[in-house]
Structure 1
């Protein structure tokens, strides 16, 4: 077995040496070096602040050793890496854990003292977090109590098989950690993305799906969902018990969904404006034609940003009534506060990415997944390292992770404009700062009733930044619990996460939260109540589908 693993490792190395597996660098390594140098210089210029951090660290280590030698267990940290009871109950593992967490916080305190641009500072924070995540004692066989226990149970077979798993993944050419979930646990159209429906329209950019009604009467206003480009639409149609689509249909809603094409080189020149006009505006027209009513739009992440632009374009064309209302979930319209994502919004990185895009015409889904995984490395990288390579546990059957790994590409022209015009220069913040087909986009001109939903633990769109955007465009606001993806998938039957509401919107987001009312359970029913308040309250006969092109989820959702 060892000989076979050695052979496979050698073959993988040879493939990389021959260029059959090419490392991709859609970033500028010199920008990283410059940010590090800028940080070090800025730190050297603040000796007093650095001394204060060092003195505080000395006191903290004194308190740590006093506690460790006394044998008293302190409060258990809220960190899933250290969920095993041994991390709290065993003095040896508890000391390792607490020493790591203390040292990590002290290094972050040092970084907070440094100066430099926001992008450079974010790069340093990102690099430090990657290092600290990597060296966690939970990631090593000798210092993880679960792995030690597993070694005793199997006689070390888990480590041998885990190494075989590592070789297999590396030989696949995509790097390590390909098995966050069982890829065979679900089948699109049968066990996931399985709510009955039909594709009723398609063009070069999207298919429009209409779902089969399950009630005799439906709300007069149809719903139209716009997903982001980076993943397939069916995050809102996971297994039936978690499907927002199924829940809405059963609640008496006519549901349409935009299913974006997975771009190839021929879509290279499709830009932001194309997705707004050929995508969203076209979908709105198709839904109005089929139902005779203006739809309630709802969108997630980047999809919500595009919806805001579409609404501004329609307003500029005196067509604001084409849409009855719009709900943006985890979406930014003001990119002034990118938090750790600002590490990638840097001239050097953007130029390197544009060179990278030029050859293939799009950014690959695997590259995007790696970026998102790095921002949540403990959940999406290191937990898989421990489970797959140290514990040799089978990958879990997770519908949400299955969806996450079913990524999609983004065309070069779209990404270039989005990165420079929106992320770097924040032109949506300016009246007429961005144009779609020659029409200036002014979000302040939107008169369509809008609701913005943020997620409290969102690592992609910080809820405070989403709140400020909502306030700027005069939208109503809800704060949901949990993170960027899981906070959206919140079926009422699960009774999880909770949400916050408040009628007024003060300038400061944290002030809003301090006076907000917390509600238990899901925000879904509260949202449909908002839709009712902004609709006609009319019911019409369920809209049967008589002219479907093909069954949902359609060819575009199946594209490799």
Structure 2
């Protein structure tokens, strides 16, 4: 920071305070803060003290904009890092985050005769002991296998990497060709099966599809050496084979999400011709194949940060799920951290139940070998798109090996997996390929989008191009959830209707236990 830059910041700050400014009346926050939900409570504008705090924070925000401009001359990634941490500091310094500078918290303490303070302090001490983020939902309101993940089914296979669930048919006839779902290994599978009003699994079963689900094991620190190869061969390949065997079908449809999509794409890229015959179609839900744009998570992924993290990962043997959750929360700290910090600790408000946030907080560890391989070879080196660049158990990967029908599904507001970058997958696969774009975010637009309640839109039947503007301009826009559209697409590859199986499992793969299975319920130390 040069002396001229410091002088400019000082002058801007002084000018903001010394120039005559319109004082907002009661109930109105100044300037850019007028629509900020942090300051909507009347306590912020009811007293000179509250109005002073708002004026101070408005000045700080304007100064921070100029601080951000100091990074304009940096390389692109360093500029993003600079802007990210400047904004992170601005959000952290909000007067709403501190008891003595939050008029709403002070007023509530007075109104409740200190009970709100006692409640908040108790919660804060508990979370500090557990090294946890402020709770985003009332965890006591949910039970996996009770009011979450309760679609009827059974575990029909398990190894050290995953369990395979088969769901009970709900129709007399089912499609002969099943679908196997591969979720991310950084989260638990039941985002696809939250409850009857949101369940993607239940919806597919109601449409007469045979549905199988991978439930990844949540590894203990220091107990696993599994890496990318194990998750490919002992995970995805094995799940496909067992699904075909149990369903008595020579083929299966595959649907995979996020890093589950990356694992599945990698698995297909090394399949032999005989193995590929088992794949009727492949769908990649918010999945990067080309990693030229990392999305928001790129803030945390560069050679120095990855190298600095490696010794810790090797020592623990896992990337703790809580660490990943904290990193994701930092990307939107104002909403994902500070909102709950204020509500839980300063205001002592009741914590409402929210099933999606419960799932999000139910974190899973990731094997250190897998995590390191993924960030180094995909995020840093972008090798998944390069034929022959990766070798998995002696087989060279090739995206052109994907000659089966493929469908890429992405979301307009997904900041983790940018949709314009997922579109590049159309150029990498060699078979027929479709792209479907839905409104919404990484979870809210895709996995949680039941047709009965959806107010979103989606685009489909666009030209096969990797130009985002050209694709969207040529695609058809429809109202509603993308689920029925995809179900119509996959029906082409799902065979004829046959009698639904009377029992789950098979002679070779008998039922082990009821769904949701023990792997998703296992309590594992974070490492």
- 1:333-412, aligned counterparts within 5 Å? 333-412=289-368
Partner of 1:521 in structure 2?
480
Which among 517, 526, 541 is matched to residue 499 of structure 2?
A: 541
Deviation at 1:517, TM superposition (A): 4.6
Provide Cα deviations, 1:119-159, integer angstroms capped at 9, x if missing partner.
43332233223212212344344665653553343134312
Contact residue 73 and residue 88 of structure 1 kept, 8 A: no
Which among 238, 243, 262 is matched to residue 305 of structure 1?
A: 262
Matched, 1:154 2:126: no
With over 3 angstroms needed to count, the CA separation of the structure-2 counterparts of 1:515 and 1:392, relative to structure 1, is farther
Question: TM-score of the superposition, structure 2-length normalised?
Answer: 0.86
With over 3 angstroms needed to count, the CA separation of the structure-2 counterparts of 1:86 and 1:265, relative to structure 1, is closer
Matched, 1:261 2:220: no
Find the aligned partners of 2:33 and 2:316 in 1 and give their Cα distance: 49
Contact residue 385 and residue 428 of structure 2 kept, 8 A: no
Find the aligned partners of 1:102 and 1:359 in 2 and give their Cα distance: 45
Partner of 2:489 in structure 1?
530
Find the aligned partners of 1:273 and 1:557 in 2 and give their Cα distance: 22
Equivalent residue of 1:499, what SS? strand
With over 3 angstroms needed to count, the CA separation of the structure-2 counterparts of 1:392 and 1:471, relative to structure 1, is farther
Provide Cα deviations, 1:278-320, integer angstroms capped at 9, x if missing partner.
1001110111112214111111110011111112112x54532
Find the aligned partners of 2:303 and 2:368 in 1 and give their Cα distance: 17
Deviation at 1:207, TM superposition (A): 0.6
Partner of 1:236 in structure 2?
192
Find the aligned partners of 2:495 and 2:47 in 1 and give their Cα distance: 60
Find the aligned partners of 1:428 and 1:214 in 2 and give their Cα distance: 39
Find the aligned partners of 1:430 and 1:76 in 2 and give their Cα distance: 48
Matched, 1:479 2:437: yes
Partner of 2:87 in structure 1?
129
Find the aligned partners of 1:530 and 1:79 in 2 and give their Cα distance: 43
When you count helix as a share of all residues, which structure comes out higher? 1
Find the aligned partners of 1:415 and 1:278 in 2 and give their Cα distance: 17
Count of residues paired in the alignment: 511
Partner of 1:557 in structure 2?
520
Equivalent residue of 2:147, what SS? coil
Find the aligned partners of 1:351 and 1:77 in 2 and give their Cα distance: 43
Find the aligned partners of 2:94 and 2:111 in 1 and give their Cα distance: 23
- 1:76-95, aligned counterparts within 5 Å? 80-81=37-38
With over 3 angstroms needed to count, the CA separation of the structure-2 counterparts of 1:77 and 1:294, relative to structure 1, is farther
Provide Cα deviations, 1:73-131, integer angstroms capped at 9, x if missing partner.
87987755456588899999789668756854763565355233444333223322321
Partner of 1:321 in structure 2?
277
Contact residue 434 and residue 461 of structure 2 kept, 8 A: no
Gaps of 5+ in 2: none
With over 3 angstroms needed to count, the CA separation of the structure-2 counterparts of 1:143 and 1:277, relative to structure 1, is same
Find the aligned partners of 1:527 and 1:448 in 2 and give their Cα distance: 16
Gaps of 5+ in 1: 1-39
Which among 179, 187, 199 is matched to residue 155 of structure 2?
A: 199
Which among 342, 360, 369 is matched to residue 413 of structure 1?
A: 369
With over 3 angstroms needed to count, the CA separation of the structure-2 counterparts of 1:370 and 1:325, relative to structure 1, is same
Provide Cα deviations, 1:150-208, integer angstroms capped at 9, x if missing partner.
334313431233123212322x241552x221121111111111111000011111110
Find the aligned partners of 1:83 and 1:484 in 2 and give their Cα distance: 28
Find the aligned partners of 1:294 and 1:516 in 2 and give their Cα distance: 30
Contact residue 68 and residue 91 of structure 1 kept, 8 A: no
With over 3 angstroms needed to count, the CA separation of the structure-2 counterparts of 1:264 and 1:76, relative to structure 1, is closer
With over 3 angstroms needed to count, the CA separation of the structure-2 counterparts of 1:268 and 1:353, relative to structure 1, is farther
- 1:15-30, aligned counterparts within 5 Å? none
Question: TM-score of the superposition, structure 1-length normalised?
Answer: 0.81
Deviation at 1:69, TM superposition (A): 6.3
Partner of 2:252 in structure 1?
295
Q: Which moved more, 1:497-506 or 1:451-460?
A: 497-506
Partner of 2:468 in structure 1?
509
Partner of 1:461 in structure 2?
417
Partner of 1:107 in structure 2?
64
